[in-house]
Amino acid sequence: MNKRDLVSSLAWLSVGLFIIIGSLSLLEIGSLNRPGPGLFPLAAGFVLSLLSLAIAVKVLFMKDKRSLGELWAESNWHGVFYAVGSLLIYSILLEWAGFVIMTALLLIFLFRAIEPQKWKMAIGLAISSSVGFYLLFDRVLQVLLPRGILGF
């Protein structure tokens, strides 16, 4: 772990605290017996904050002390832009193409572009993941997913 981990853990800590504050001030928490809409975000923000704080404390007591310039030079920025761009395209085309197709295409792209995997691995994981998530959310949990041009 290094300073990148410290910076990212502090960023996630701030996100977690933001979620906690938002859920406490904007949503009804309820109780464990009768949970309100703010209980899950509060718990998620609390867990996120605790884990981020644990990583930050661990990094502070480590001996790896590189400069911020060294850390930025080692960053994989093209991967970040690929991920954000592909998610933007995914959100635009999701309704038209449907959940299964767009999720499979997104995962294939991410498996190949960010941390390149072999084509067989990328296609197999993407198809099995998108079909698995479709079965879980559409069939088991009965969440309405975009059907798209093929109707599934």
Per-residue pLDDT, 68: 58
pLDDT at res. 65: 64
What is the reported pLDDT for 115?
83
Positions in the chain short of pLDDT 70:
1-2, 64-72, 74
Question: In Å, what is the CA distance from 92 to each residue of 96, 111, 112, 131?
Answer: 8, 20, 21, 20
Q: Please give the pLDDT value at position 71.
A: 60
Is the Cβ–Cβ distance between 98 and 152 less than 8 Å? yes
Instruction: For residue 3, give the amino acid letter.
Output: K
